[in-house]
Amino acid sequence: MVPVFRRLAGLVLATCALGTSLDTRAEGTDAQRTRFRQAYATATQQGGDAWRAQATGLENYSIYPYIEAAALEHDLRTLDSARVDDYLRRNPGMIPAADLRRDFLGELARRKDWPSFTAMYQPGLGDSLTCFNLQAKLSRGEKLVFDTDLADLWRKASLPNSCDPVISAAHDQGLLTPDRLWSRIDIAADAGKGGTIASLAPWLAPADVPSAQHLAQALNDPAGALRDAATWPDTPRERKAITLALQRTARKQSTVADSAWAQLGSRFAFTEQQRGAVENAIALFHATDFDETALDRLAALSPAAQTDATREWRVRVALARQEWTAALSALDALAPSQKADGEWRYFRAVVLTHLGRQSDAASAFRSVSQEATYFGFLAADKVNAAYAICPSTPATDETREAALLAEPAMDRAFELYAVGLQKLARREWTAGLNGRDAETQRLAADLAFRKGWYDRAVFTLSSGDALRIYEQRFPLARQDGVVEQASQAGIEAPWAYAIIRAESAWMSDARSGADARGLMQLLPGTAATVAKKNGLGWGGGESLYEPGTNIVLGTRYLSEMAQRFNGAPWLASAAYNAGPYKVDQWVDARGTLDPELFVASIPFKETREYVARVMAFAVIYDWRLNGNALPISSRMTRIGTPYTLPTAGAVRKQVTCPAPAVAKPAPQTAPAVMEAAPAAASSAPAAAEPQH
């Protein structure tokens, strides 16, 4: 909790700068918030009771329990159960109480104080504590019962370390029958958890151990498994292991997988489903490598071996090769849901243009141009149409607003945000709005927006008619100096805003798994280098959570990417996401393509959709800043052609809202280029992508 506080002051200043005050009954006063910050800092840094003097008078302040919880968390190793029980009794149902219970149970387990653990334990606190509870049961000399104690855990592909003694005890009790062992091994194999398989294999009958080890090897060392597979027996489990190894190898070495499949495909009696899975993987990853054989491989896949991913990549490869007849055939082969997607409707129009079917192409472009998306804006440029942006404003209801702000969870959420504890604030927000109707959620989002808590509006207004609430979804935080810093960095403000919106959705405390931080998601090392190059002050990684610092450094880094790629915002956006060296590789391979085709050929789904999002967001921010927008095509210059910043007299696009009789509802998949898609939706190979 100490690192959280170190950036507390900066976050508080940021929240004040980002929004305006909204007088309500439920709001804390400035004096309360100041005293809270002081007391919370003492609690997180010192524990004990020193914070109490600073918190005098805050006892009725809605987030007061967070101070005491912070002190107790600091003192976790020395606490006794009575103090924790007392806190839990006084703060039932609160998030800090749930956290304290969970953390103290972990401490009791560390102490092996099983009686105290059992007295405090509640079900549903996660697999780790569930297994500690079973360890407590074992400590009392009780036997495990598989159906009630282990059945749910056994269906998990992997489990925390606290479960190891429990699983060992279950084995010693004779509960892990061969059928149960193989059941979990199969679950782990399907989930790609070779470590789980390796840990269970020794408990199988000696004759079965090699098969389990082959499955584990297929996941942990697929290349080695394929080298050894020629000596394996032709059994169902060996065939499954080889299938997994081939699929994994294809992801990184499609030609190696090809050779192994040529050797093993006829030696083993693979099922039709297994053959389809292997052929699918090999064809798909040849496609993402843009291998010369990729298009033929994808077209030749049997119907059973095809998936949305292979059908999509058949189109991408044909477009990259500019084989228009093949591209039209690939578009015709898409699944119905894919054909409805704005991307493929747009590229159908592109293909029809190249095939000389101008009238059909124009009609298709006009249809797509009715959507406020990347492809909608591109289509509008093709037919010289205005951009179809139909803004709406959420209705206000002061009575309902006051009632919502007075709800305990929402009051705590807004107060935690006001004092700079954004992560905790988001948790209270989620708890307070869980299961609420759409209108209540919109009301809360609008309140958050007016208080400067922009990310809540962005994430809440993310579907249906709420997508038209542009003011809240695309906030203009001028107080952060985006316009000024973009100008000083030599880049366009709409583009800088778009990067912020795509990177963090205005979460100033955002932090990625790769340690990219703040609004523009900068790595500390990158930020330090940028600061040195530009003669700027550098206060260390924690300073990246300060919006002003982050934007100064982020706009300079964005400018570096632009300069590297002839100023082109779309290519610089790709480099900002995937890293400049990766973009260099793509340019070397396919740099003669038109920009729209180049983007469609980017192998990384994340980067491909990122570029589309940023370019669409730049149009929307341009419109928000200027009342109209530069054509999206003007920012997508051909590779090698210098991009020139627009002048005051640059021709701009009109923005209109089509009449209802003309407008066509966007397909459900259209927002995929406007908001980040779930990782599970990825149709391209996962790849370790650089962070900036």
CATH class for domain 478-681? Answer: mainly alpha
Q: Is the pLDDT of residue 507 over 90?
A: yes
Please report the pLDDT score of residue 654 as a whole number: 93
Q: Which long-range contacts (CB under 8 A, 24 or more apart) does 100-105 make?
A: 100/69, 100/72, 100/73, 101/125, 102/126, 102/129, 103/73, 103/76, 104/76, 104/79, 105/129, 105/132
Please report the pLDDT score of residue 648 as a whole number: 86
Q: Is the pLDDT of residue 582 over 60?
A: yes
pLDDT in tens, 668-678: 444 434 565 33
Q: Is the pLDDT of residue 21 over 90?
A: no
CB-based contacts of 153, cutoff 8 Å, min separation 6? 127, 130, 131, 159, 163, 166
Q: Is the pLDDT of residue 687 over 60?
A: no
Q: Is the pLDDT of residue 285 over 70?
A: yes
Mean of per-residue pLDDT scores for the chain: 91
pLDDT in tens, 405-419: 999 999 999 999 999
pLDDT in tens, 176-205: 999 999 999 999 999 999 999 999 999 999
658 within 8 A of 370, measured Cβ to Cβ:
yes
Q: What is the homologous superfamily of the domain 2-137 according to CATH? A: Bacterial muramidases (1.25.20.10)
The residue whose two tokens read 């199969």 is 186
Query: What is the chain's length?
Result: 692
Please report the pLDDT score of residue 649 as a whole number: 87
pLDDT in tens, 322-367: 999 999 999 999 999 999 999 999 999 999 999 999 999 999 999 9
18 within 8 A of 477, measured Cβ to Cβ:
yes
Q: Is the pLDDT of residue 469 over 60?
A: yes
Q: Is the pLDDT of residue 380 over 60?
A: yes
Which residues are paired to 655 by β-bridges?
387
pLDDT in tens, 201-222: 999 999 999 999 999 999 999 9
Q: What is the mean pLDDT of residues 307-315?
A: 97
Q: What is the mean pLDDT of residues 162-168?
A: 98
Residues of the chain with CATH 1.10.530.10: 478-681
Whole-number Å distance between alpha carbons of 297 and 257: 14
What stretches of 565-674 show up as alpha helix (H) in DSSP?
Answer: 569-578, 580-590, 595-600, 605-626
Two tokens, residue 12: 């508080």
Please report the pLDDT score of residue 658 as a whole number: 84
Please report the pLDDT score of residue 28 as a whole number: 80
Q: Is the pLDDT of residue 22 over 60?
A: no
CB-based contacts of 111, cutoff 8 Å, min separation 6? none
By mean pLDDT, which of 82-86, 607-611, 633-637, 654-658 is the weakest?
654-658
Q: What is the mean pLDDT of residues 428-448?
A: 95
Q: Tell me phi and psi for residue 581, to 5 degrees.
A: -70, -35
Please report the pLDDT score of residue 477 as a whole number: 76
Please report the pLDDT score of residue 396 as a whole number: 87
Please report the pLDDT score of residue 234 as a whole number: 97
Please report the pLDDT score of residue 480 as a whole number: 78
Q: Is the pLDDT of residue 397 over 70?
A: yes
Output helix, strand, coil percentages for the chain, rounded to the nearest 5: 65, 0, 35
Q: What is the mean pLDDT of residues 590-613?
A: 97
Note the Cα 98 to chain centre separation in Å.
26
Q: What is the mean pLDDT of residues 459-470?
A: 93
Please report the pLDDT score of residue 15 as a whole number: 41
Q: Tell me phi and psi for residue 387, to 5 degrees.
A: -75, 135
Q: What is the mean pLDDT of residues 640-651?
A: 92
Q: What is the mean pLDDT of residues 259-265?
A: 96
Residues of the chain with CATH 1.25.20.10: 2-137
- When pLDDT is cut at 50, 70 and 90, the band that residue 661 belongs to is very low
Percent of the chain surpassing pLDDT 70: 91
